[in-house]
Amino acid sequence: MGDLPVVQAMRYASAGGKRLRAFLVLETARLHGIAPERAIWPAAAVEALHAYSLVHDDLPCMDDDDLRRGLPTVHVQWDQATAVLAGDALQTLAFELLARSECSPDAAVRADLVLGLARAVGAQGMVRGQALDIAAETAPEPLTLDQITDLQAGKTGALIEWSATAGALMAGADTGPLSVYARKLGLAFQIWDDVLDVEGDAETVGKAVGKDAEAGKATFVSLLGLEAAKSRAQNLIEDACNALDCYGIEAECLREAARFVIARQS
């Protein structure tokens, strides 16, 4: 007997993508001397968590997207029930991976990784951001810049911050510099998503574009203008890189990743 459709869908939804969050975990772990065979567990966890959020966000009752990473979304490829369940089980899997002893020999680290991830993605974090985003669609007024910034801090920022601080947490080191790096990076990432929604084509981006403008939705681009949005993102990336000064040349790979965020076409 083969895998149930829900398991096939979990695998399908976890394939591809940029792996930015996993990269941040692995690279910040390396920076703090954590072995890759440990760091792979939180790296896999954050990608499972991210995949869950995409599968649910794509549902007809949410953002209603048919295309993701250039392929049909899970509810198109299977059905909505499978998409709900696959997302649910991917979230569960993320916490399972963090709680396994392979992740860290120190149970306090495992519990702290779980606690931090839960706070980043729950009703005060990622889900809050997504709920604000959905509410914005039917709001009488477009969101302000402060509101969009707040929304995105939840929707994408919190998980990026967890990813970028996981390595320091595993090593018992100060997470402060990486928190600053991640917050700047996360905001730049989202501004650049809005830029791609205007400038990109669906084939390269791998998902529908132009949806926000069509829906009359406020974005960083609609509020700041295209050029100002780009330069805001560039400034944020500069700040993100500077936040890593204490790590010196060792953090160059993280700085390059930050620069990639505002160079990417998808």
Contact residues: a second copy, CB under 8 A:
4-7, 10, 52, 56, 59, 61-62, 79-82, 84-85, 87-89, 91-93, 95-96, 98-101, 106-108, 110-112, 114-115, 117-119, 121-123, 127-128, 130-132, 134-135
Task: Give whichever of 150 and 199 is closer to a second copy, judged by the CB atom.
Answer: 150
3-class DSSP state of 53: helix
In the complex, what is the shortest distance from the CB of residue 242 to a second copy, in angstroms, rounded to a whole number?
Answer: 33
Which residues are CB-neighbours of 27 under 8 A, at least 6 positions away? 167, 253, 254, 257
Shortest Å distance, C-beta 119 to a second copy: 6
Q: Which is nearer to a second copy, 16 or 122 (CB)?
A: 122
Least distance CB 50 / a second copy (angstroms)? 13
Q: How many CB atoms lie within 10 A of CB 100?
A: 12
Closest CA relative to residue 14, chosen from 41, 52, 43, 40: 52
The tokens for 58 are 């794509």
Percentages of the chain per state (helix, strand, coil), in multiples of 5: 75, 0, 25
Structural contact between residues 28 and 177, judged by C-beta atoms closer than 8 angstroms: no
Nearest CA to 38 out of 135, 144, 109 is that of 109
Cβ distance to a second copy smaller for residue 99 or 253: 99
Token pair in block for residue 245? 């000064």
Nearer CB in complex with a second copy: 81/215: 81
**Smallest distance, a second copy to C-beta of residue 204, A:** 29
What is the C-alpha to C-alpha distance for residues 64 and 101, in angstroms, rounded to an integer?
Answer: 38
Q: Measured from the CB of residue 148, what is the shortest distance to a second copy in angstroms?
A: 16
Closest separation in Å from C-beta 169 to a second copy: 13
Rounded to the nearest whole angstrom, what is the least distance from the CB of residue 89 to a second copy in the complex? 4
Nearer to a second copy, 89 or 173 (CB): 89
Residue 68 has φ and ψ, to the nearest 5°, of -150, 130
Pick between residue 92 and residue 204 the one whose CB is nearest to a second copy. Answer: 92
Q: Position of tokens 């890759």?
A: 36
Nearer to a second copy, 134 or 253 (CB): 134
Residue 13 and residue 51: Cα distance in Å, rounded? 6
